[in-house]
Amino acid sequence: LNDIENGVLRGNKKSAVPGTKITFRKKDPKAAFVVPLDRRIHFALNCGALSCPPVRTYTAAYVDDELTQSSKDYLAKYLRVLPEQKKVKLTRLALWFATDFGAGDRDILNNVKPFAQDEALQALEGLLSSEDRLAVEHFPYSM
């Protein structure tokens, strides 16, 4: 499963587990199956913890729409924008896989913004349009 998640689906990146290495070496024949990173995968894969995305099925014909919907559904639960505090609470997945989401808090928030909805989207856009310093906190991990 590590080969699939970190090698193929995450563009051959290191696991979030400390001390791990890139999954496929240059001459590994499995490297031919690596696809470019799609951040939405983090909102679709389930590791069995309570705070993981729910198990869903995906279809070849509609996988793009299904991954987008999974991302929106997941972030509806694990994205809270607190504009008066200039704070955003976000899924811990964005911390663990920070290299997949961006170089800093603003990058990360800009990369999850397409999946924010309604009031959260408006508040996030407002915070990101300001020059104010933002605080990003992460929800606790639930087993």
- Its sign, for the CA torsion 36, 42, 48, 54, is negative
Summarize pLDDT for 72-108 with one digit per residue, the tens: 999 999 999 999 999 999 998 898 898 899 989 999 9
Weakest mean pLDDT among 18-27, 66-75, 125-134: 18-27
pTM: 0.88
- Write down the residue that tokens 């990173």 correspond to: 37
The DSSP string of 72-112 is HHHHHHHEEEEGGGTEEEE-THHHHTHHHH-SSHHHHHHHH
